[in-house]
């Protein structure tokens, strides 16, 4: 920094002030010259020294269920980009949806003095989150909610209700749902919205038509085999995740039935391949980038001591061939 100051003919304090600020179109000629010299000399700021002065590492720890899940990977990518735009490094890792692995990863972040946490794998029963709150660790939940902890989620109750109304509108009355695991708020709330919307039309699903499974294709296949063995079998199936919906569609084809004509299927999340499947999948689309941006805004506000309220983002249904036609009676 001394070399830059000497070459620019200014004080070291001036160089320090300019390099701490982001480049702007309104930079003075002196500021532009300082930045040019810094680039020429390969200057890099001492991040650790800066963190000692500010008492912040400008690092955020992110936990997701699995980075192989394209939805979680996309949300993490959005978090990473928006964190970087605010001068923070977002470091992500997966827990496999295991609370013990979640705890180990979070403690790893805290051992390295990360400033805040973004947690995307919360369970409905989550004593460790209560412990973090008692320790005054700033964190935000995303994708799932738990207790009263601040979160940004999609409005999954609305999403489930949209699917129920869609099935009713196209003439279905024998309806089933392939739910997620009972510990995940996302699936639980989607199912609630779906079932409540049916109840408003005086429809109550038999218990055997509501199957708690998982969020992967294998779980969808297992659930679909159970459902298709029932008589009467369902004519419409809501899978609370696109991957489980793909598993459901595979079993329908195995049974030599036609997806969309014999049995309508709707998924959730609208993953990128939904439109490219053999039978394009109807799915509830969620605003992934908005979730990442909102999560960053919320954690930075919380780190600054502000009270943060939970946010719910509105989804909408994209209708494709898997549920496009009316039920043929």
CATH of 156-286+317-323, one of 3.40.50.2300, 3.40.30.10, 2.40.50.1070, 3.40.50.720: 3.40.50.2300
> In the chain, what are the domain boundaries?
2-45, 57-153+288-313, 156-286+317-323
Pair 185, 145: CB distance under 8 Å: yes
- Which of the following CATH numbers is that of domain 57-153+288-313: 3.30.70.1560, 3.40.50.10490, 3.40.50.2300, 3.30.70.20? 3.40.50.2300
Query: Does 26 have pLDDT greater than 50?
Result: no
Other Cβ atoms closer than 10 A to 4:
23
Beta bridge partners of 153: 312
Residue with tokens 């992500």: 92
Closest C-alpha among 228, 124, 123, 241 to residue 178: 241
Distances (CA, A) of 28 to 16, 31, 62: 15, 5, 38
Are 63 and 117 spatial neighbours (Cβ–Cβ below 8 Å)?
Answer: yes
Residue 254 is predicted with a pLDDT of: 96
CB 167 within 8 A of CB 200: no
pLDDT for the residue 173:
94
- Residue range 74-125, pLDDT digits in tens: 999 999 999 999 989 999 999 999 999 999 999 999 999 999 999 999 898 8
Q: What is the pLDDT of residues 302-318, one digit of tens each?
A: 999 999 999 999 999 99
- Alpha-carbon distance 248 to 233, whole Å? 13
- Residue 236 structure tokens: 């419409």
Task: Express as a percent the part of the chain with pLDDT over 70.
Answer: 92
Asked if 57-153+288-313 and 156-286+317-323 have one fold, the answer is yes
Note the pLDDT tens digit of each residue in 54-80.
Answer: 567 899 999 999 988 999 999 999 999
**Cβ–Cβ under 8 Å, residues 140 and 150:** yes
Q: What are phi and psi of 157, to 5 degrees?
A: -65, -45
> Which residues are registered as beta bridge partners of 266?
238, 282
Scan for tokens 């085999």, then name that residue.
225
Give pLDDT, residue 5.
76
Instruction: Determine the 3-state secondary structure of 312 from DSSP.
Output: strand
Tally of CB atoms within 10 A around 49: 9
Report whether 295 contacts 150 (CB < 8 A): no
What number of CA atoms fall less than 13 Å from residue 75's CA on the CB side? 32
The residues with which 94 forms a beta bridge, in sequence order, are 64
Sign of torsion, CA 197 199 203 204? Answer: positive
pLDDT band at 4 (very low <50, low <70, confident <90, very high): confident
Pairwise CA distance, residues 315 & 284, whole Å: 6
Label residue 49 by pLDDT band (50, 70, 90).
low
Spatial separation of the C-alpha atoms in residues 128 and 119, rounded to whole Å: 12
- State the pLDDT at residue 34: 82
Mean pLDDT of 131-150: 94
On the question of pLDDT at 187 being above 80, the answer is yes
Would you state the pLDDT for residue 10?
81
């Amino acid at each position: 920094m001394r070399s830059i100051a000497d070459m620019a003919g200014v004080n070291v304090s001036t160089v320090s002030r300019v390099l701490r600020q982001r480049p702007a179109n309104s930079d003075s000629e002196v500021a532009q010259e300082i930045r040019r010299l810094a680039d020429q000399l390969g200057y890099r700021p001492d991040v650790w020294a800066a963190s000692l002065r500010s008492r912040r590492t400008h690092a955020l720890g992110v936990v997701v269920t699995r980075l192989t899940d394209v939805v979680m990977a996309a949300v993490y990518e959005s978090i990473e980009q928006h964190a970087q735009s605010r001068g923070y490094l977002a470091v992500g890792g997966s827990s496999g949806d295991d609370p013990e692995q979640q705890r180990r990863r979070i403690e790893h972040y805290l051992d390295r003095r990360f400033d805040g946490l973004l947690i995307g794998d919360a369970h409905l029963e989550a004593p460790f989150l209560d412990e973090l709150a008692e320790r005054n660790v700033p964190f935000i939940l995303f994708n799932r909610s738990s207790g009263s902890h601040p979160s940004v989620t999609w409005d999954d109750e609305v999403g489930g209700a949209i699917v129920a109304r869609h099935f009713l509108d196209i003439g279905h009355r024998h309806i089933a749902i392939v739910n997620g695991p009972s510990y995940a708020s996302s699936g639980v709330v989607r199912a609630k919205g779906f079932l409540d919307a049916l109840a408003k039309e005086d429809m109550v699903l038999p218990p055997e038509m509501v199957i708690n499974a998982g969020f992967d294709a294998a779980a969808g296949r297992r659930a679909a085999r159970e459902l298709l063995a029932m008589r009467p079998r369902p004519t419409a199936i809501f899978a609370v995740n696109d991957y489980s919906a793909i598993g459901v569609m595979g079993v329908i084809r195995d049974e030599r039935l036609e997806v969309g004509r014999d049995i309508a299927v709707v998924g959730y999340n609208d993953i990128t391949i939904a439109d490219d499947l053999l039978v394009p999948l109807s799915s509830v689309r969620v605003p992934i980038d908005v979730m990442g941006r909102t999560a960053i805004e919320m954690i930075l506000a919380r780190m600054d001591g502000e009270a943060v309220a939970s946010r719910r983002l509105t989804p909408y249904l994209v209708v494709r061939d898997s549920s496009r036609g009316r039920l043929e009676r």
